[in-house]
Amino acid sequence: MKNKAFAVLAAIGCLLFASTAFADQPFDWQKGLQPAATSIMEEIRWFEQYTLWFIVPITLFVLVLLIVVVVKFRESKNPVPSKTSHNTAIEVVWTLGPVIVLLFLAVPSFQLLTRQLAPTEEPELTIKATGYQWYWGYEYQVGESPLSFDSILLQDGDRAAAGKEDRGVYPRLLAVDNEVVVPVGKHVRLLVTAADVIHAFAMPSFGVKIDAVPGRLNETWFKADREGLFYGQCSELCGKDHAFMPIAIRVVSQEKYDTWLAAAATNLGDANKALMASVDGAAKSVNVAANAAQ
Q: What DSSP element (H or E) covers 17?
A: helix 2-18
* 193 to 128, 232, 237: CA distances (angstroms): 8, 16, 15
Dihedral (C-alpha) 258, 131, 163, 161: value to the nearest 10 degrees? -120
For residue 150, give the nearest of 173, 128, 125 by alpha carbon.
Answer: 128
Q: How far is the CB of 25 from Cu ion (least distance, A)?
A: 18
The answer to whether the Cα torsion of 216, 217, 220, 226 is positive or negative is: positive
CB of 214 or CB of 281, closer to Cu ion? 214
Choose between 209 and 226: whose C-beta lies nearer to Cu ion.
Answer: 209
CB of 131 to Cu ion, least distance (A): 5
Please state, in angstroms and as integers, the Cα–Cα distance from residue 94 to each residue in 63, 91, 101, following that order. Answer: 16, 5, 11
Q: Please report whether residue 151 would count as binding Cu ion according to CB under 5 A.
A: no
284's enclosing H/E stretch is helix 268-293
* Cβ atoms 202, 209 nearer than 8 A: yes
Answer yes or no whether residue 238 interacts with Cu ion by CB under 5 A.
yes
Nearer to Cu ion, 112 or 198 (CB): 198
Toward Cu ion, which CB reaches closer, 162 or 192?
192
Minimum distance from residue 238 beta carbon to Cu ion (Å): 3
Which residue, 139 or 166, is less far from Cu ion as judged by CB?
139
199: contact with Cu ion by CB under 5 A: yes
Residues 71 to 130 in contact with Cu ion, rule: CB under 5 A: none
Per CB under 5 A, the segment of 90-98, 111-119, 229-237, 257-265 that binds Cu ion is 229-237
Give yes or no for residue 234 binding Cu ion (CB under 5 A): yes
Query: Which residues would be at the binding site for Cu ion (CB under 5 A)?
Result: 199, 234, 238
